[in-house]
Amino acid sequence: MVRLACNVRGSVSLPGDKSISHRYAMLAALADGPSRLENYSTGADCASTLGCLRSLGVKWERKDGADNVIEVQGSALSLVAPNEPLDCGNSGSTIRMLSGIVAAQRFSIEMSGDESLSRRPMERVIAPLTAMGAQITSQNGRPPLRITGTTLKAIDYKMPVASAQVKTCLLFAGLLAEGETRIEEPLRTRDHGELALRAFGAQLDRKGNEVRIRGGQRLRGIEARVPGDLSSAAFFLCAAALFPGSQLTLTSLLMNPTRARLLDILMQMGLRISVRQLEEIHGELVGTLQVTGGKLKGATIAGADTAALIDEIPVLAAIAPYTEQGIEVRDAKELRVKESDRIASIATNLRAMGAELEEREDGLRIPGGQSLRGAEVESFGDHRIAMAFSIAALRAQGETLIRGSECAAISYPAFFPTLESLVER
């Protein structure tokens, strides 16, 4: 249950970024020697990655303490066949990116997940991995995936859909393949895969929307602290944006330029953001944000911005009725095949709270200047929908019940207590 608030104030340190945590764990598993990963993501998705790695013979342990440290003993590129199917849970990142690694192993494997994951499209990794030599069967392009690995051959691949998960899958496969793999994106996506590979000692070349990696390179273990998750920070940033005069500090936060478009958009909308203590760690920019709320204007999210903000669109859309000019989202058909059909989920919940909007095949148009009322809304089993509507509820008259809100644990188990600690009533 979320109630009307009057302000947001305080300081928060976010759990480790999910995207980086997945990639660091997978590369640490392949590296020569141990890796120590501090502030590893607390979300269930990243736990799914660790579980799959353990099934593949990778030794790791979680150290006691507040920093959520994971120590991984690298396998030196040598994994073992699991005794049972790999359970990827709800994690599309796990199944897509790890498939690029297991496709290069000399054994057969099955990768599955929960009901939500079983509806998500996998043809985008099946097609290029098959072209590299792997044998993969699926349920009409959806999990479970049955992969018979082999010695992979490098390919030149032009991705039909912009996806950082697919790009990383192919970079990992390319690292283990014979020859040089070239990947071209239709739009620039987050580059955590490239930066993580370099952090572990791999060489690759990036030019525009093209990246190349040579197979056969060895990786070395690292010590790293995963920066705070910017996608999780989006919910608190949007909460602060709802209240003129709010004061919020976010420490040790990921500031990667391929992810920081969210900050640009929020600043254009009227949120005042200053960056302090900016530094580069293993290629990733990390800083502390100081945030003050102001009048909230509208925005249009389309094209490259849509690709850059794909995880943050739900919460931006959830606060759109409170903006002056509203928010329009275009070119976002990818949202239809996330953990839920996020376009439909957003539209359903906003209407339940009294908003007027237009739902389109590839997006939404949500007018501003509206008031919302507390209501009973659905998470649809989707962590980002549950968290997004907890933010919308902070300005809604009355109480809002979010059914299935426990799914927030997929990415951020402590989300609701953290939000409550920052809210003033």
What secondary structure does DSSP assign to 44-56, as a single string? HHHHHHHHHHHHT
330 with 317: CB under 8 angstroms?
Answer: no
Asked whether the domain spanning 18-225 has the same topology as the one spanning 2-15+227-424, the reply is yes
pLDDT digit string, tens, across residues 71-93: 999 999 889 999 999 999 999 99
Per-residue b/e over 300-339, b at no fewer than 16 CB within 10 Å?
ebeeebbbbbbbbbbbbbbbbbbbeebbbbbbbebbeebb
Q: Domain 2-15+227-424: give its CATH superfamily.
A: Enolpyruvate transferase domain (3.65.10.10)
In this structure, what are the phi and psi dihedrals at residue 394, rounded to the nearest 5 degrees? -65, -20
Pairing of strands 284-292, 327-329: unpaired
- Nearest Cα neighbor of 329 from 357, 297, 370 is 357
**Is position 311 annotated as part of the catalytic site?**
yes
pLDDT at 78: 85
412 with 43: CB under 8 angstroms?
Answer: yes
Give the C-alpha separation, 44 to 32, whole Å.
27
pLDDT digit string, tens, across residues 90-100: 999 999 999 99
pLDDT at 402: 98
- Nearest Cα neighbor of 234 from 6, 18, 5, 7 is 18
pLDDT at 7: 97
Q: Alpha helices of 116-215 — where are they, by DSSP H? A: 123-131, 164-175, 192-199
Q: Which of 45, 87, 311, 382 is catalytic?
A: 311
Does the pLDDT value for residue 190 go beyond 80?
Answer: yes
Rounded (5°) CA angle 366-367-369: 135
Q: Domain 18-225: give its CATH superfamily.
A: Enolpyruvate transferase domain (3.65.10.10)
Question: Region 184-212: what's the mean pLDDT?
Answer: 96
Domain ranges of the chain: 2-15+227-424, 18-225
pTM metric for this prediction: 0.92
Query: Strands, E, within 151-271: which ranges?
Result: 156-158, 180-184, 204-207, 210-214, 223-225, 247-254
